[in-house]
Chain A
Amino acid sequence: MVRKIKLQAKNREFCRKISELSGEVVMLCEQCGTCAGSCPMSAEMDITPSQMIRLVQLGQEAVLENKTFWVCASCYTCTVRCPRGIDPAKVAEALRQVKLRQAIDYIQIDEISSEEAKKLPSVALVAAFRKMTG
């Protein structure tokens, strides 16, 4: 669905907020696509990592409804390859944090079956809860 958007002060504000929370100068991204090409999880995402950053640059808060940053595995491959020296993993974290700090969890702990819970090593559970629950 093609949208027409107006770029306003509130968009700049969203971009600034994510930049501050992530500690990354998001405006530096030149949309080369290296992060997206390197990302092992890209096939599971609804928008590519670079597109996620693009929407942050344009200050489009609707990016918070995408799946992409939840599917991120924080593997840091994008971090070591970005030619502009940006850390997209930190931007993904910032977007997750915006949601989690509003008490909107991505996974529900009680939806994990007891069978899985017995199988999973504690590092997996702790990491998943840290990243996807508040």
Chain B
Amino acid sequence: MRIGVYVCHCGGNISDVVDVKKVNAVAEQEPEVAFVRDAEHMCSEDGQKLICDDVLEQNLDRVVVASCSPLFHENTFMKTVAKAGINPYLFEMANLREQCSWAHPSKAAATRKAEDLVKMAIAKCRLDVPLARQALPIGRDVLIVGGGIAGIQAALDLADAGFQVTLVEREPAIGGKMVMLSKTFPTEDCATCIIGPKLADVSQHPNIRLLTYAEVEEVSGYLGNFNVKVRRKARYVDWEKCVACGTCAGKCPTKVPDEFNQGLSQRKAIYLHNPIAVPHKYLIDGLVCRRLKQDGNACGVCEKLCAQKAINFADQDETIEIRADTIIGAMGFDLFDATLKPVYNFGHANVITALQLERIIATGSSGPPLRAVGNRVAFIQCVGSRDEQINRENCSRICCMYATKLAQLLLRIDPTRDITIFYTDLRAYGKGFEEYYKRAQKAGIQYIRGRVAEVQPDPEGRTLWITVEDTLSREIIESEYDLVVLSAGLVPARATDRISELLKLAKSPDGFLQEAHPKFRPVDTLVDGVFIAGCVQGPKDIPDTVSQASAAAARAIRLMNKGVYETEPVKAFVHEERCDGCGQCVTVCPVRAISTGKQKAQINQALCKGCGICIGSCPTEALDLHFYTTQQLEAQIEKALEGKSADEVRLLIFADNVCTYRLADNLGTGRLSYPAETRIIRIPSSARISPQLMLYAFHKGADAIFLGECDHKASPYTGSVDAIERNLTVARWVLEEEGVSPERIRFSELLASLLTDFYKNVTSLVKLAKKEAEPITPEQRERLGERAKGPLPEVREGAVIHG
């Protein structure tokens, strides 16, 4: 074996603090290291060329680069070594910048740490094995969940590109919220006019199979092989026969509030979803139809009248099985339920939501108005947004503009109106927005900066009284209005919870679906092959929705276009001789990739995400993880602690790749220093760290251990936090039995933004190890080494069980 080690100066970022020559010297002493060199910028073209040339000239077969964070340049260097003919999984990095020179200003301490980090990387590299990316076949079938403008746009892009699309929509017709709108800001295009052609395109496209009034019930499988069960709800009208003449609805005796018109009008039990519904077919609401609810002989007027004989009371829900290669989630949003803010008195006849006002204006041009609007109108912004009292901290992004638009439209219909918009901040960030806002001000719409405190009904009449501080003049205003419009915010659509569980998608803290990376992968999710687009990912307007939809389509095409896709080879595997078929791994796997056939664990390599939860949970240590094998972790632990002197302490940090490692990098990037006694080991999930490994770490000299993992709400690996808690319980139990303080191991759920949490945890643990806890004796460390060899107690249903 001939390992080449490169220590990067990073233009002074590393070399100003870390003594690079010393690091070189240490690297040279390590076994199997054949060649060591330092350079200014390893990531530059020159740097990369150096590696390629050296591999040839020095006959190197493995490479270690000690430079910046692997989250930064790992992919770059992996491609470089691959070009030089070395398997990219024989390449390792040591993080000497974000987690060393940037975080520890003391040159001596940073250099010590750098030496250890390089030794750890070399030790891991020595034990690397070549791993091959598998090329798996992938077809051209896409499932899109949600038929609003996001789903429609993605569907058309994919269908036009020659892919087969199944578009599933829960409502009887497609168009989502956009088809409810009157006009769109800032251009005041008629919403139905511009979406109309797209609706027609979708229904007629040969490559799109449209399933409306249908819901996704079950999802199994993986990228290239999804199996989905869709329940097509009974509609009691044969859509092959219905010609939408409307005679049935004319005579139907049952009236209920019309959801499309937001409750402002009524529809019949047999109804057309909306005036421009696509598909343009009637259906029967089984919950209110007399014939269907009561008995088989009631009513039936529609059946008698239908000339096409399209009514079918015997209709049943139908389960349709669909296979898909990729999936796009575009479930959209719902409007915030304003009854959750009782101070605004939603429920009073003259307090309405913006969506209700959209319907009033949209229907106003083609018939009698849904209701009167009056002369003095007030808009209240930030209803259900930016509000800690109801746990909705996010801004809903579009309300400032839609209120401006609605105000403009009302004024145009009746220029004598007196309209006021009560806002907190006026967010007019998009193209043409500021100009539109200015036109609204010019037209005479009054903007008052104050968050409305109360809306109270007038005791005598039907008007409303608004109490608010005009924060710009500091006057308290109490004024009377004919109509109060609540600019309600956007919340994730009802279906989001259910669908996200089915697809195993993570949610952001605000409840919307989480993208894989906020900057570079805005429409990907951490589930391979599943993309998201539109408001399900977060509030946005129509142009941004359409952009995301086309982006999601492009990302799906990118995966499917070549007919094959490459998998990451970092997967779990089984040491069969140690497996006793207990099945613990089966239950903890977040993607159900494990089964126990023939009394041994079997791992589906296509499904496996390489998180490592199963490995940490295996009582016999029969499971292992490529690229993060137990042997490799033990080697890294040894090297991290090897150089420790008797009066020093070491805190080993196991950092999950998604959040904690990123968080540690962020501290360095922010030049926030923390104790240099820390040594960070990167793993996909901290659940990979079994209690045996934790004890081994103490055996080898660790004085404290910190496990960091993504907050369970944001984690792509469901159940990782629970698994870590179980492993912790066992390790702490053993520590306590051996007389070592269990406080020496700590675990925290983190997000990449929680810099102070990380800092506090790390500093207090180091303090504990240095000053507070009884020092660990050599005898205790020996004992812990013995205990690490097992067997260890297990945690079942919260209780620690021995044997």
Q: Touching in the complex, A and B, CB below 8 A? A: yes
Enumerate chain A interface residues (CB-CB to B < 8 A).
30-38, 42-43, 47-48, 50-51, 80-85
Smallest distance from the beta carbon of A109 to chain B beta carbons, Å? 32
B348-390 interface bits toward A, Cβ cutoff 8 Å, 1 = contact, 0 = none: 0000000000000000000000000000000000100011110
Question: Is there contact, CB below 8 Å, between A37 and B389?
Answer: no
Chain B residues, Cβ within 8 Å of A33: 449-451, 453, 468-471
**Minimum CB distance partner of B452 in chain A:** A37
Q: How far is the CA of A35 from the CA of B724 in the complex (A)?
A: 44
Smallest distance from the beta carbon of B732 to chain A beta carbons, Å? 34
B307 contacts the other chain (CB 8 A): no
Chain B residues, Cβ within 8 Å of A85: 388-389
Cβ contact of A38, chosen from B449, B454, B471, cutoff 8 A: B454
From 464 to 481 in chain B, residues with beta carbon under 8 angstroms from any chain A beta carbon are 467-471, 474, 476
Smallest distance from the beta carbon of A42 to chain B beta carbons, Å? 5
Cβ contact of B469, chosen from A50, A80, A82, A83, cutoff 8 A: A50
From 420 to 479 in chain B, residues with beta carbon under 8 angstroms from any chain A beta carbon are 424-425, 449-454, 467-471, 474, 476
Question: Is there contact, CB below 8 Å, between A34 and B388?
Answer: no
Q: How far is the CA of A48 from the CA of B452 in the complex (A)?
A: 15
B343 contacts the other chain (CB 8 A): yes
Q: How far is the CA of A36 from the CA of B474 in the complex (A)?
A: 9
Smallest distance from the beta carbon of A121 to chain B beta carbons, Å? 29
Question: Is there contact, CB below 8 Å, between A32 and B474?
Answer: no
Smallest distance from the beta carbon of A73 to chain B beta carbons, Å? 16
Chain B residues, Cβ within 8 Å of A81: 343, 389, 453
Q: How far is the CA of A80 from the CA of B474 in the complex (A)?
A: 21
Question: Is there contact, CB below 8 Å, between A47 and B389?
Answer: no
From 288 to 346 in chain B, residues with beta carbon under 8 angstroms from any chain A beta carbon are 343
Specify which of A33, A34, A38 lies most central, judged by the most chain B CB atoms within 10 Å of its CB.
Answer: A33
Question: Is there contact, CB below 8 Å, between A32 and B450?
Answer: yes
Question: Is there contact, CB below 8 Å, between A83 and B452?
Answer: no
Cβ contact of B451, chosen from A34, A43, A48, A51, cutoff 8 A: A34
Task: Indicate whether A84 sits within 8 Å of B388 (C-beta atoms), given known contacts A34-B453, A37-B453.
Answer: yes
Chain A residues, Cβ within 8 Å of B450: 32-33, 36-37
Question: Is there contact, CB below 8 Å, between A50 and B471?
Answer: yes
**Assuming A32-B424, A36-B471, A83-B386, what are 12 further A-B pairs, CB within 8 angstroms?**
A30-B424, A32-B471, A33-B451, A33-B469, A34-B469, A36-B453, A36-B476, A37-B454, A47-B474, A51-B474, A81-B453, A82-B388
Smallest distance from the beta carbon of A81 to chain B beta carbons, Å? 6
Chain B residues, Cβ within 8 Å of A84: 388
Cβ contact of B389, chosen from A30, A36, A43, A80, cutoff 8 A: A80
Question: Is there contact, CB below 8 Å, between A83 and B382?
Answer: yes
Cβ contact of A82, chosen from B382, B389, B476, cutoff 8 A: B389
Smallest distance from the beta carbon of B466 to chain A beta carbons, Å? 9
Chain A residues, Cβ within 8 Å of B470: 33
Task: Indicate whether A83 sits within 8 Å of B451 (C-beta atoms), given known contacts A31-B471, A36-B469.
Answer: yes
Chain B residues, Cβ within 8 Å of A35: 453
Please give me the 8 A-B residue pairs with the lowest Cβ-Cβ distance, nearest first. Answer: A37-B453, A33-B469, A36-B469, A32-B451, A85-B388, A38-B453, A33-B450, A33-B471
**Minimum CB distance partner of B453 in chain A:** A37
Question: Is there contact, CB below 8 Å, between A48 and B476?
Answer: yes
Q: How far is the CA of A36 from the CA of B343 in the complex (A)?
A: 14
**Minimum CB distance partner of A33 in chain B:** B469
Question: Is there contact, CB below 8 Å, between B343 and A42?
Answer: no
Q: How far is the CA of A15 from the CA of B514 in the complex (A)?
A: 38
From 460 to 510 in chain B, residues with beta carbon under 8 angstroms from any chain A beta carbon are 467-471, 474, 476
Interface contacts (Cβ under 8 Å), in number, total 63
**Minimum CB distance partner of A47 in chain B:** B474
Q: How far is the CA of A109 from the CA of B467 in the complex (A)?
A: 36
From 15 to 62 in chain B, residues with beta carbon under 8 angstroms from any chain A beta carbon are none
Chain A residues, Cβ within 8 Å of B382: 32, 83
Smallest distance from the beta carbon of A58 to chain B beta carbons, Å? 14
Chain A residues, Cβ within 8 Å of B424: 30, 32
Chain A residues, Cβ within 8 Å of B425: 30
**Minimum CB distance partner of B343 in chain A:** A81
**Minimum CB distance partner of B470 in chain A:** A33
Q: How far is the CA of A31 from the CA of B467 in the complex (A)?
A: 16
Task: Show 19 A/B contacts (Cβ-Cβ < 8 Å), sorted by A.
Answer: A30-B424, A30-B425, A32-B382, A32-B471, A33-B468, A33-B470, A34-B453, A34-B469, A36-B450, A36-B476, A37-B454, A37-B467, A37-B468, A37-B469, A37-B476, A38-B454, A81-B389, A83-B382, A83-B388
Task: Indicate whether A83 sits within 8 Å of B476 (C-beta atoms), given known contacts A37-B469, A48-B469.
Answer: no
Q: How far is the CA of A43 from the CA of B327 in the complex (A)?
A: 58
Q: How far is the CA of A43 from the CA of B449 in the complex (A)?
A: 19
**Minimum CB distance partner of B448 in chain A:** A33
Smallest distance from the beta carbon of B84 to chain A beta carbons, Å? 53
B401-436 interface bits toward A, Cβ cutoff 8 Å, 1 = contact, 0 = none: 000000000000000000000001100000000000
Q: How far is the CA of A73 from the CA of B471 in the complex (A)?
A: 22
Q: How far is the CA of A11 from the CA of B450 in the complex (A)?
A: 26
**Minimum CB distance partner of B341 in chain A:** A81
Question: Is there contact, CB below 8 Å, between A42 and B476?
Answer: yes
Smallest distance from the beta carbon of A38 to chain B beta carbons, Å? 4
Smallest distance from the beta carbon of B688 to chain A beta carbons, Å? 37
Specify which of B389, B425, B452, B454 lies most central, judged by the most chain A CB atoms within 10 Å of its CB.
Answer: B389
Q: How far is the CA of A85 from the CA of B391 in the complex (A)?
A: 10
Q: How far is the CA of A42 from the CA of B612 in the complex (A)?
A: 59
Q: How far is the CA of A80 from the CA of B342 in the complex (A)?
A: 12
Smallest distance from the beta carbon of B382 to chain A beta carbons, Å? 7
Chain A residues, Cβ within 8 Å of B476: 36-37, 42-43, 48
**Minimum CB distance partner of B450 in chain A:** A33
Q: How far is the CA of A84 from the CA of B424 in the complex (A)?
A: 12
Chain B residues, Cβ within 8 Å of A38: 453-454, 467
Q: How far is the CA of A132 from the CA of B469 in the complex (A)?
A: 27
**Minimum CB distance partner of A45 in chain B:** B476
Chain B residues, Cβ within 8 Å of A32: 382, 424, 450-451, 471
**Minimum CB distance partner of B471 in chain A:** A33
Smallest distance from the beta carbon of B426 to chain A beta carbons, Å? 13
Chain B residues, Cβ within 8 Å of A43: 476
Chain B residues, Cβ within 8 Å of A42: 469, 476
Question: Is there contact, CB below 8 Å, between A37 and B388?
Answer: no
Smallest distance from the beta carbon of B476 to chain A beta carbons, Å? 5
Smallest distance from the beta carbon of A89 to chain B beta carbons, Å? 15
**Minimum CB distance partner of A78 in chain B:** B453
Q: How far is the CA of A36 from the CA of B453 in the complex (A)?
A: 8
Smallest distance from the beta carbon of A40 to chain B beta carbons, Å? 10
**Minimum CB distance partner of A77 in chain B:** B453
Question: Is there contact, CB below 8 Å, between B471 and A83?
Answer: no
Chain B residues, Cβ within 8 Å of A51: 474
Q: How far is the CA of A99 from the CA of B387 in the complex (A)?
A: 33
Q: How far is the CA of A59 from the CA of B523 in the complex (A)?
A: 44
